[in-house]
A = this chain, B = another copy of it.
């Protein structure tokens, strides 16, 4: 019997390197993971593709998905909806693939409430100074944007202890490897192995 996939939520400070980390994890272990693609009502930016970065929906389409309970979680930021379509996630898990959701803390906690077996991972740079360096190092953000991201990081840090595991992203390769091992270890959880246990009990009684 093939084991079902695990639902994994990855969150972290803006500048923690989540994007690169996810990209590398999915490239390296392509056969194991599926990345969930969010739906949004915001307009696509240059270079963004429907079905790759996001599913770009109209407000009507999005509200219909809400009514049909077709979203695992959703939220409204700056007058735009963002949400996680349910069908893709459940399909992939059923097929034995671990599904990764890269979403914000509020969404993460909603997912955990609805699916208690979800694995919540929080990615952080080793120090706050390093976070600031990375944000500045991009060289593409205004001082105001950097300031806002750091202010937001202060708020996010207050909730990071709601996550199951904390991943320090110091060395990218090490962090990808740790994340992979951590997720795979969850497949050994007793809760996910009820059928194995039942089979061994039955076999032992029949020996």
Contacts and interface: CB of A to CB of B under 8 A. Distances in A.
Interface of A: 122, 124, 127-129, 131-132, 150, 153-154, 157-158, 160-168, 178, 181-182, 184-185, 188-190, 193-194, 196-197, 199-201, 203-207
13 contacts: A128-B207, A129-B203, A153-B204, A157-B197, A160-B190, A160-B200, A161-B197, A162-B190, A163-B190, A165-B189, A166-B188, A167-B188, A181-B185
Contacts of A131: 204
Given A166-B188, A188-B167, A188-B182, A197 B160 contact: yes
Interface centre among A127, A167, A185 (most CB of B within 10 A): A185
A195 B137 CA distance: 27
Q: Which 8 A-B pairs have the closest CB atoms?
A: A128-B203, A181-B181, A165-B188, A182-B185, A128-B204, A185-B185, A157-B201, A154-B204
Nearest to A205: B154
A207 B13 CA distance: 15
A122 to B, nearest CB: 8
Given A167-B188, A181-B181, A182-B188, A128 B161 contact: no
Contacts of A201: 154, 157-158
